[in-house]
Structure 1
Amino acid sequence: MTEPRPLLRAAADRLRAVGVASPEYDAGELLAHVLGTTRGQLLLLGDIGPEQVRRYDGLVARRAAREPLQHLLGAAWFRHVEVAVGPGVFVPRPETELLAGWAVDQAAAVAATGRTPVVVDLCTGSGVIAKSIAHEVPAARVHAVELDPPAHAWAERNLAGTGVELRLGDLATAFEDLVGEVDVLVSNPPYVPLEAWESVAVEARDHDPHLALFSGDDGLDAIRVIARRGLVLLKPGGVVGVEHADAQGESAPAVFSAVGRWAEVRDHRDLAGRPRFVTARRAHPDPESPASVGGWDA
């Protein structure tokens, strides 16, 4: 029989030695998973049996090989929801919760006027942003699209019973039936430059789908598509929010500014003070301007 404290200490030391960013946290989450309890309850437990120690050692070995913690647990928590994750789908990151919170606030503001918010999540991956919005703004009509079939299968599982309308398709062409009707457009697209391959964390590089990570030489290809597609899908006055890399705090907003017809383009920082996502509002047509002749659709 083994006490939890030395077991946790040895596991954390093992994870720290190979460069895992949060060794104590990961060691605790894995042991709690094996024992069917919470991390906060671990030190209140008695001795751990040999079979449980064996299972725990196997999970720690896999984490030391840089398999994502969430894959080992089978789930990821995000804001107020949980989603199943594993091979074939991008693992949600905590910093994306800020973008989701922004989208929740925007949808809630529309709902407060008595209208039904129409929300679209492009590149939905596991479906976590769409699920969060549907959970926190029940009045919203939430739609999501994913191009990669394995990721779409995870999203289908995670969004079952939520009311979110999920599609398999390309962000550049999806939702022709919603043209000009969307209030809030949100996306955590691929944004890693191809040249940044070596700088990507091992967990992401070796286990997240490359389709969810890389987006052209400068990492902005998908964001350029969203900046154009947003003008088609959003109603005048509708808003878009898009996550980007911390090195893209100027270049991502510049994409929207270059396209034109976007107002209130601004960047937002995460809790660590790093540039994290850009937002913009589709400008209302000016009846005096030539651009308004023949309508305002892109």
Structure 2
Amino acid sequence: MTDAAGADPHSSVRSVAAAIGVALESAGVAHGEYEAVLLLAWAVGCEAGDVRRAVLMGDTMGELVSRYGAGADDAGVGGDETDGAVSDDADVATAGAPRVATRLRDAVTRRCAREPLQYIVGTAPFRYLSLDVGPGVFVPRPETETAVDLALDWLRSDCIPGAGTRIVDLCAGTGAIGLSLVTELPASQVWAVEKDDDAIVWTRRNASRVLDGIAGAADRYHLVQADATDAATLAQLDGTVDAVVTNPPYIPLATPPEQPEVIDWDPHVALFGGSDDGLHIPVLLLRRIRTLLRPGGLVVMEHDITQGAALREAALRMGFVRPRTEPDLTGRDRFLVAWRDGE
């Protein structure tokens, strides 16, 4: 993207988006055109749909900035330099366009260096939530939403949840799983466990943001900093938990990911399963989960596409029943689903 394309308020939104898309795809980003719209929306301070509408209408960058001037101010784009003197759309466009261009150039440079898009814009969507993310925490992926679906389907049908429903989210990271469950399942009690000092900063931040304003929700969400594999962690809940849902570190050390966004940016403590096959930490967690669950309680565990059979076998050895493997959104083996014996 040239400086002129971003800085000139007379440039069309379409041409700027196209230039960004080409730059991103040249850097190896798979969906450059799609991400260009997201980066433009972030820089301006509007929604992606607003950018797409501006493209269809043939709007200029100046028109886009003037239309969403308040949003640009909120995003740090608006004009401290104007000192309140901006009085009409033309003034807003003139004052705002250079700042939008600066933010946009910085964002495109970072994305071309393969920094995750979510780190740049500061948020990641997960189900009905928008979660704060940044260096030090694993960016939640869309496939993990399926783990929440699997748990909710059972909790809402076979389990018949009520005020006493107890759910545990191990290796919480951003808090995506536990916060989704506590907000989508009224009256449930959710415990979340995160060990890492850097990651738990984001868990706390998201819990505060998500639960603020939802009556009673903060009292139903319990965040603990601890080792999820330790027998002492949540020992007071042993034998009483209805469901454990977890996306643990599971990537095999023998086959590290190749995507720069993952290997260079996601914290390795959240990625690797502690052994060549990646099963060391998941198996340790299964043993702890077996103790936490009540008889008949459910476990849903995300795993690598190579680990389905091994985790089903491990679950059977530990006293789980009816273990099965469920696919992710692309049809690949991704989730262990099993129940503690004694149902």
Q: TM-score by structure 2 length?
A: 0.79
Partner residue in 1 for 2:60? 47
Q: How does 1:1-298 map to 2 (within 5 A)?
A: 1=9, 2-45=11-54, 46-48=59-61, 49-109=97-157, 112=160, 114=162, 116-160=164-208, 161=211, 162-163=217-218, 164-173=221-230, 174-197=233-256, 199-215=257-273, 216-257=275-316, 259-284=317-342
Stretch deviating more after TM superposition (22-31 or 60-69):
22-31
> C-alpha separation between the residues in 1 aligned to 2:115 and 2:270?
17
SS of the residue 2:306 aligns to:
helix
SS of the residue 1:195 aligns to:
coil
Question: Any conservation in 2 of the 1:76–1:83 contact (CA below 8 Å)?
Answer: yes
- Deviation for aligned residue 1:105: 2.4
Larger radius of gyration: 2
> C-alpha separation between the residues in 1 aligned to 2:171 and 2:51?
37
**Cα distance change on mapping 1:183 and 1:67 into 2, 3 Å:** same
Stretch deviating more after TM superposition (159-168 or 209-218):
159-168
> C-alpha separation between the residues in 2 aligned to 1:113 and 1:140?
7
Question: Any conservation in 2 of the 1:240–1:279 contact (CA below 8 Å)?
Answer: yes
Partner deviation per Cα, 1:129-148 (whole Å, 9 max, x = no partner): 00000110021100000010
Partner residue in 2 for 1:291? none
Give the letter aligned to residue 181 of structure 2: I
> C-alpha separation between the residues in 2 aligned to 1:135 and 1:113?
14
CA RMSD of superposed structures (Å): 1.6
Question: Any conservation in 1 of the 2:137–2:267 contact (CA below 8 Å)?
Answer: yes
- Deviation for aligned residue 1:39: 1.4
SS of the residue 1:25 aligns to:
helix
> C-alpha separation between the residues in 2 aligned to 1:225 and 1:124?
16
Partner deviation per Cα, 1:244-295 (whole Å, 9 max, x = no partner): 11222322323213x231101000001211111111000107xxxxxxxxxx
| Structure 1 runs, 4 residues or longer, greater than 4 Å off | none
Residue ranges of structure 2 left out of the alignment (5+ in a row): 1-8, 62-96, 212-216
SS of the residue 2:157 aligns to:
helix
> C-alpha separation between the residues in 2 aligned to 1:73 and 1:146?
24
> C-alpha separation between the residues in 2 aligned to 1:74 and 1:273?
29
SS of the residue 1:150 aligns to:
helix
Partner deviation per Cα, 1:4-49 (whole Å, 9 max, x = no partner): 1111111111111121122122111110111111212214333222
Residue ranges of structure 1 left out of the alignment (5+ in a row): 286-298
Q: TM-score by structure 1 length?
A: 0.91
Give the letter aligned to residue 306 of structure 2: A
> C-alpha separation between the residues in 2 aligned to 1:84 and 1:281?
33
Question: Any conservation in 2 of the 1:66–1:202 contact (CA below 8 Å)?
Answer: yes
Query: How many percent identity over aligned positions?
Result: 39
- Deviation for aligned residue 1:231: 1.5
Query: How many residues of Structure 1 are paired with residues of Structure 2 in the alignment?
Result: 283
